[in-house]
Amino acid sequence: MRRTSPVCQVDPGGMWAVTRYEDVLFVMKNPGLFSSEGFKVAWQPPWVGYNPFANSMLAMDPPAHTRLRGLIHRAFGAATVARLEPRLRAVATELTNRLVEEADFVEAFAHPLPAFAIGEILGLDHALHAKFKRWADDIVSITPELPSPEDAQRVKTTLAELTGYLMEVIAKRRRAPVDDTVSDLVRAELDGQRLTDAEIVEFLVTLLIGGLETTTHLLSNSLLFLADHPDMMERLHAEPGLISLFVEEMLRYDGPVQTLPRIATADVVLSGVTVPRGALVLPIMASANRDEARFKDPDRFDLHRGSQGGLHFGHGVHFCIGAALARMEARVALEAVMARFERVERVPHELRYNRTLTVRGPIALPLRFIPARRTGQQVS
């Protein structure tokens, strides 16, 4: 597509796919021409009804987006990430105990770790981690295409369950505030007015899904790569300081975020093709991050490539506010796995990936975990 049809219409519904790096960057840098209302079109089709995720700040443009984004800087700021890291490191070490011989890495590690992090930040009940995953999976599965009646009902039930749970949490914090993000939002004022319960729910759903689904897939994609490239795992064992570089290149090479839907607010020409006003536009970051015109030998995994220019966390006003948290989680997770295991191997299993417009990762990832020769010490 990059070479022959870099801007073209695709199914479902005739959305306009944009695949070249320069074009994707242009879309990201120009919210006036490409509105984030595209999220609402993608995630709140008529068959869904109200979806708090589709009405969050992800679906807003400046200045409304700018004001709301400022309210959650504390939740994902550097101080929060630094405070959370020791606790997350302890949880990651504990979770490696579940990786006995053969285990599903998604279920045993890649989901519980970010679920713990988001639960800690938001002050949510850790006993509901399994529900977090189901809620997130169902919501990101939404597309404009009408699903089966059973799938449609499941999604609607999930939206009602999640909204109801968060409304209960908000009501409790209004009665008795504590030191967490929900209480901060309850107390927050925007232009002299308090946030409504609906606005807070939209915030929380965004943080829950944005912080859970993407990191789960990043961890899973990383372990799958290491299973297929044992030489890379040997190298990281020998030089643990390279793990941060590994995370950066993995984000480019096989990152979890695939697209960020937008709406064209005017007729716009991209690579010689006129995208009409009102069109749903899909800038494909996964393609931009493999663009031969931007990255030399883009299909080669290169630890020393550097992350400059990668679009895996978006760009501009919608640059991912949780980027520092995601990087820390991935680094801590990989350090824990490296300390415990000499290598990981695939087991016979047909890999199935989730089916969404925006994120990508395996639904389950059965792997065989080979312990290090000296448990708890790194192999050199």
**Bridge partner residues of 9 (DSSP):** 16
**180 contact partners, CB below 8 Å, separation of at least 6:** 121, 122, 123, 173
pLDDT score at 209: 79
**What pTM was computed for the model?**
0.86
Identify whether 263 is part of a domain: no
Smallest CA-to-CA distance from 109 within 372, 356, 367, 301 is with: 367
- Alpha helices, DSSP H, located in 262-370: 285-288, 323-340
3-state secondary structure of 150: helix
pLDDT score at 375: 43
Number of domains in the chain: 1
Q: What is the CATH number of the domain that holds 253?
A: 1.10.630.10
* DSSP assignment letter at 359: B
pLDDT score at 61: 65
**283 contact partners, CB below 8 Å, separation of at least 6:** 18, 23, 24, 27, 28, 34, 259, 260, 262
Smallest CA-to-CA distance from 345 within 218, 217, 233 is with: 233
Note down the domain range covering 226.
Answer: 53-257+306-371
Identify whether 364 is part of a domain: yes
Identify whether 189 is part of a domain: yes
Identify whether 28 is part of a domain: no
Rounded distance between C-alpha atoms, residue 174 and residue 182, angstroms: 9
Rounded distance between C-alpha atoms, residue 46 and residue 57, angstroms: 20
pLDDT tens for each residue of the chain, 380 residues long:
999 999 999 987 789 999 999 999 999 999 889 988 777 777 788 888 888 887 777 766 666 666 666 666 666 667 778 888 999 999 999 999 999 889 999 999 999 999 999 888 888 888 887 788 788 888 878 877 888 889 899 989 999 999 999 999 999 999 998 888 788 888 877 667 778 888 889 888 888 877 888 899 999 999 999 999 999 999 999 999 999 999 999 999 999 989 888 999 999 999 999 999 999 999 999 999 999 999 999 999 999 987 666 787 766 655 667 778 889 999 999 999 999 999 999 998 889 898 788 889 999 999 999 998 764 444 33
Rounded distance between C-alpha atoms, residue 219 and residue 280, angstroms: 30
pLDDT score at 308: 66
Asked if 362 contacts 220 with a C-beta cutoff of 8 angstroms, the reply is: yes
Identify whether 262 is part of a domain: no
pLDDT score at 67: 65
Rounded distance between C-alpha atoms, residue 139 and residue 131, angstroms: 12
* DSSP assignment letter at 301: -
- Torsion angle (degrees, nearest 10) of CA 244, 250, 251, 252: 120
Asked if 225 contacts 236 with a C-beta cutoff of 8 angstroms, the reply is: no
Identify whether 270 is part of a domain: no
Identify whether 118 is part of a domain: yes
Mark 196-221 as b/e (b = at least 16 C-beta within 10 Å): ebebbbbbbbbbbbbbbbbbbbbbbb
pLDDT score at 253: 94
